[in-house]
Structure 1
Amino acid sequence: MASVCCDLEVDVNGEETFMVEKRIMTLYSGRLSRLFGKSTSSTGNFKVIFNDFPGGAESFELMLRFCYNNGGIEITPYNISLLYSAAQFMEMNKSISGVHNLMERIDKSLQDGNYWTWSEILVIIKQCQDILPLENCSGIIEKCMDSLIGRIAMPGEPSPCASTSSPESSGFRFSFDTRSTESLKNSFSRANWWFDDLLVLSTALVEKMINSMVSRKLDHAIISKFLFYYQKSKFQSAKSDEKCKIVETVIDMLYILDWNSVSFKSLFGILRISLNLEISKSSRNKLEIMIGSQMDQSTLDNLLIPSPQGTNYLYNVNLILRLLKAFLCEGICQISTPRLRKVARLMDLYIAEVAPDPCLRTSKFLALAMALPDSARDSYDGLYRAMDMYLEVQVHSGLSEEERVKICCALNYEKLSAEVCIHLSENKKFPSRSAVQALMSQKIKLKSLLRFANDTKVYGDSPSPCSLSGKGQKNEASDQIVLYAGKLDLSPDKEELKAHLQGMQWRVIELEKVCMKMQNQMTKILKSRVPSHSNARSLPRLCS
């Protein structure tokens, strides 16, 4: 009798062979109904081979129970994924009178999903991602994701208890502790209680989950912490190609968050990891843009990233240049002055750190020196010291005069201190034109300051301009300041003005001393560096 009824042999993925009744199977399955509807033979045995049946023999057997029991099967969180995958594959969504529709039964069970426990939902998701392509189970996955996110977002931050797998469990517990230290600990755990549970998700499902969390306006700081935790945890057992996919997913998801909510230190951690992986160019660009936009939060240690393998220079200068480009991409006008100055100070330290590298090309050093606009620096003393170190190394390797001049063009001599200008004028590593230009800029600056000092008076005849080289006029400006201060009828509310004038007096005296020293130094330079014969060439043009 059994041999008469079981006229269809089904091979499921080579795992197991089932003998079934063709009439019953075609009644429930649209796939088999179409297959045998084209058959010209109405009698005899048939054989069907499925090589890609989702869920394998276990899923097929559950589907048979549904068919042979006239739809009388209990759908639970532990079999719904298997039944769903089988129903999709076998096209069991027929609406024939008297025939139970498996897909309708599954959809009804999904509507009751709010009663499932946390761990039951995780079981469903885990089964779905193991047996079905993501696009083939989007309906059930979305329902489960919504349920998980709803529970994560619940006020009071519930966490699943140890017995969530039991049907009687509500799936939640609330932790209250009156002790201060334990309270802080519990507060931290309440925010992150779900991190470990969601490590079962594949990268594709993590991407889907994070997008859903963002759309439901969950805290971006917590989301970013989970992504960093996910990356760190999954790396422990991942292979090289899997690591690439994990890092790419984490970067892409961090990119859609509010970057102010993302740990800058952790971003640099991801950056250092990604440098040893062949991640996509798109993900790498996103990471560099996120870091570059917050460049003012960096430290020198952050930037000292070793150069890629196969290169002979010490540090990854090209990466830092790209980060600077990302920092400046929003436009100079949009970046506050304090942020710009902070990055400039950081870059001066970085350039000084990489300057001693004998393999650092002149073009790269110059690119670093000129990456930021002039407005970023109120002083070029730091950059000068970095140049001094670079030339110390490079001069011995045959750096040409032209290349040294090109490097010095990155300096703004007007923003060099007097002490640095004097040091530059005595520095044989720098070209002569740089020494002259530094001294000239200081001379102009001193003239301006001394003229300002002469013009600062309350009343009296206008003094003659102070000359840097005129004999008999030494301390003229300072004498005038003392004179004017002495003539003032100072009342208590003018004490501030008196202090200002007296301070200016001492400043002018200092400036005159520096001026005289610079003038003597310039005379020596001109005598030592300019040929004395009649057809001597004029001094070269200074860097503009």
Structure 2
Amino acid sequence: MKSDMLEFPSVDKATMKSNRCVVLPANVPMIAHSLKRKNQNWIARANSANDLIIQIGDSNFHLHKLAMVSRSEYLNRLVLTRANNIEDNTTTTTTIRIDNLPGGRKTLELVVKFCYGWKFDMTKSNIASLYSAANFLEMSEEIEQQNLISMTESFLTFLLFSSWKDTFCILKSCESISHWAKELQIVKRCSEAIAWKSCAIQNVQSKTNNPWWFEDVSLLRIDHFIEVIQLIKKRGMKSNLVGSCIQYWTTKWFSEVTLGFDHNVTPKHMTIKLHRVSIECLIKMLPIEENSVSCNFLLQLLKVGMVLKINDELLCVVERRVVLMLEQCSVQDLLVKNHGDKDSLYDVDVVVKVLQCYVCGMSSNHAAKLQTVGRLVDGYLSQVARDQRVKVESFKLLVEALPQNARDFDDNLYRAIDMYLKAHPYLTEEERENVCSVLEYHRLSQEARMHVMKNDRLPLKLSTQFVLLEQVNMSWTMASNGSYCQRTRTQTNIRVSKDFNRQMNHEIKVMRKDVEMMKSQLLDLNTCKMKIQKQLKICTH
């Protein structure tokens, strides 16, 4: 594209040079020899004296009214207003202060060059601010042909359609002129270009996991990222790709440094507020389709949301999504890392919170699925039990999170508890009793019971209880076996000598003795039981 006013170069793919537009204004009302800088003053040298001063920040531009007002309706209006208000007609220099020009001093310098007819470059880095400044100064075709608005509009459109990288550069440059970039829809146009191109890329790529364009999108600020994601979703991109893109961006921005709040230093209030708003926006943007985001990512969002104290309703939304995925999760999905030096390696509390939510919403006919979650939790317990920084309270809450019917036997639960005690040898007797309080004799296999009775890591109370219960169990077994043998022998003798009355009477006597013996055994067992209860009371007190 080329005209008397603009020179657009072609894209050089070999050297990957940035697109730029060389502006060569054809018709200018006056020519200045140069624009020189002296300290904070920019002075346009011409045959006539300077009669216009534009102040911006701490800089002063000494210019000429004719050159500037012939291109800008805004400046023309201000100059006329100042002239009407000046009582002393001998004053010919008009001073105007502009505090909110998009792009500030650097952009005004380009505008001045344009108005005086000097050659300058429009690039991907300055096009957004220059286009905004042109609109701010009302430099339209109505006041002068081939004015700056039409110039910048043409080049902006050219970049958006021709270059993926330049589009991101433009969007990044909009951060410093947010109001005007939004008002003039520069952000929307850039976002539409990115959405259109990324959807086109999806259609030609076979691999869908973390496409290369994720990295470019991850550099965007949260508000610009939201705009891009909304437009991508409207264009019908696959939900798993949208979810992966959100996950990629979140991992990039909420890094270890961001999330590792130093408890000795109070973070700036605005920083935390910005993070809170960002997380809430991300949760609202998540695709609703099943498996569009991973369980682990949702747990990370939940963790950050709890730290930042985001809206409770949004926290519940994330919790419910994780709950619905639990039965298909692996142990790796539950591993959410902490980043503090004093924290445990993995965040146990966030998993406890989800499990409690799962149990609250569990239906009565959920037994098979519940046992699936039980195996998952036992595996997770074994993973986190080795961490010396996992607190007793957190570990116990995790152990007690599921009801008993989540497990047929508690052998895996016992192994995890034993691993925890081994990794935490400094625990007091009371703390060990607290951790082991869920273990019950009848819910362990014989092998596990034997291990309990020999395990010196367990609290003495539990080991003693298991020894006594084992003795009772053995007594019951012996009594049952003895009675069975006697009954078997009696029945055999009766069948053999049923024709002999004398033998029958003898067997009846034997049977009576058996009954008396069983009564005696029952009495002994009852006495043993009372002794055990008494010993347990003594241990408790």
Structure 2-normalised TM-score?
Answer: 0.58
Counterparts in 2 of 1:26 and 1:137: CA distance versus 1, 3 Å = farther
Measured in 2, the distance between the counterparts of 1:530 and 1:219 equals 69
- 8 Å Cα contact 1:288/1:322 also seen in 2: no
Matched, 1:21 2:65: yes
Residue 368 of structure 1: CA displacement? 1.9
The residue aligned with 1:368 is 398
- 8 Å Cα contact 2:202/2:208 also seen in 1: no
Matched, 1:153 2:185: no
Counterparts in 2 of 1:119 and 1:383: CA distance versus 1, 3 Å = closer
Equivalent position SS for 1:17: strand
Measured in 1, the distance between the counterparts of 2:223 and 2:461 equals 58
Counterparts in 2 of 1:291 and 1:125: CA distance versus 1, 3 Å = farther
Residue 253 of structure 1: CA displacement? 3.1
The residue aligned with 1:118 is 163
The residue aligned with 2:95 is 47
Counterpart of 1:220 (choices 239, 245, 251) is 239
Unaligned regions of 5+ residues in structure 1, if any? Answer: 159-185, 448-466, 480-519
The residue aligned with 2:54 is 10
Residues 418-456 of structure 1 show CA distances to partners (whole Å, capped at 9, x for unaligned) of: 55456657877344895499779989xx99xxxxxxxxx
Counterpart of 1:321 (choices 352, 365, 388) is 352
The residue aligned with 2:376 is 346
Residue 83 of structure 1: CA displacement? 3.3
Question: Which amino acid is 1:299 matched to?
Answer: V
The residue aligned with 2:42 is none
Residues 323-346 of structure 1 show CA distances to partners (whole Å, capped at 9, x for unaligned) of: 5346557x1129965553233223
Deviates more, 1:355-364 or 1:13-22: 355-364
Question: Which amino acid is 1:145 matched to?
Answer: S
Counterparts in 2 of 1:368 and 1:474: CA distance versus 1, 3 Å = farther
The residue aligned with 1:165 is none
- 8 Å Cα contact 1:9/1:46 also seen in 2: yes
Residue 149 of structure 1: CA displacement? 1.1
- 8 Å Cα contact 1:414/1:438 also seen in 2: no
Q: Percent identity?
A: 22
Residue 140 of structure 1: CA displacement? 1.7
Residue 133 of structure 1: CA displacement? 1.8
The residue aligned with 1:516 is none
Residue 352 of structure 1: CA displacement? 4.5
Question: Which amino acid is 1:222 matched to?
Answer: L
Counterpart of 1:140 (choices 180, 186, 197) is 186
The residue aligned with 2:509 is none
Measured in 2, the distance between the counterparts of 1:23 and 1:395 equals 84
Residue 287 of structure 1: CA displacement? 11
Measured in 1, the distance between the counterparts of 2:210 and 2:388 equals 50
Measured in 2, the distance between the counterparts of 1:189 and 1:107 equals 37
Counterparts in 2 of 1:132 and 1:229: CA distance versus 1, 3 Å = same
Residues 228-253 of structure 1 show CA distances to partners (whole Å, capped at 9, x for unaligned) of: 555677899x9999999899958953
Question: Which amino acid is 2:177 matched to?
Answer: L
Matched, 1:471 2:483: yes
Equivalent position SS for 2:378: helix
Residues 360-414 of structure 1 show CA distances to partners (whole Å, capped at 9, x for unaligned) of: 65543431221112332222222234445556788985424xx666555534665
Measured in 1, the distance between the counterparts of 2:219 and 2:346 equals 38
Question: Which amino acid is 1:210 matched to?
Answer: I
Deviates more, 1:246-255 or 1:376-385: 246-255
Residue 468 of structure 1: CA displacement? 3.7
- 8 Å Cα contact 1:7/1:19 also seen in 2: yes
Measured in 2, the distance between the counterparts of 1:133 and 1:126 equals 10
Residue 117 of structure 1: CA displacement? 1.3
Counterpart of 1:206 (choices 225, 232, 238) is 225
Counterparts in 2 of 1:388 and 1:442: CA distance versus 1, 3 Å = farther
Counterpart of 2:362 (choices 332, 342, 345) is 332
Matched, 1:310 2:342: yes
Residues 50-87 of structure 1 show CA distances to partners (whole Å, capped at 9, x for unaligned) of: 45532344532554577678xxx999978752332203
The residue aligned with 1:511 is none
Residue 125 of structure 1: CA displacement? 2.4
Considering only aligned residues, what root-mean-square deviation do their CA atoms show, in Å? 5.9
- 8 Å Cα contact 1:308/1:316 also seen in 2: no
Deviates more, 1:332-341 or 1:101-110: 101-110
The residue aligned with 1:496 is none
Unaligned regions of 5+ residues in structure 2, if any? Answer: 1-29, 31-45, 260-266, 492-520
Residue 188 of structure 1: CA displacement? 3.0
The residue aligned with 1:260 is 291
Counterparts in 2 of 1:337 and 1:252: CA distance versus 1, 3 Å = farther
Counterparts in 2 of 1:106 and 1:200: CA distance versus 1, 3 Å = farther
Counterparts in 2 of 1:135 and 1:382: CA distance versus 1, 3 Å = farther
Measured in 1, the distance between the counterparts of 2:335 and 2:211 equals 31
The residue aligned with 2:514 is none
Question: Which amino acid is 1:40 matched to?
Answer: N
Measured in 2, the distance between the counterparts of 1:197 and 1:376 equals 46
Counterparts in 2 of 1:28 and 1:124: CA distance versus 1, 3 Å = farther
The residue aligned with 1:410 is 438
Structure 1-normalised TM-score?
Answer: 0.58
- 8 Å Cα contact 1:203/1:249 also seen in 2: yes
Measured in 2, the distance between the counterparts of 1:360 and 1:44 equals 78
Equivalent position SS for 1:10: strand
Q: Which residues in structure 2 correspond to 1:242-281 (within 5 Å)?
A: 253=282, 256-258=285-287, 260-264=291-295, 280-281=308-309
Equivalent position SS for 2:61: strand
Residue 45 of structure 1: CA displacement? 0.5
Q: Which residues in structure 2 correspond to 1:79-98 (within 5 Å)?
A: 80-90=127-137
- 8 Å Cα contact 1:231/1:247 also seen in 2: no
- 8 Å Cα contact 1:315/1:354 also seen in 2: yes
Counterparts in 2 of 1:442 and 1:404: CA distance versus 1, 3 Å = farther
Residue 90 of structure 1: CA displacement? 3.2
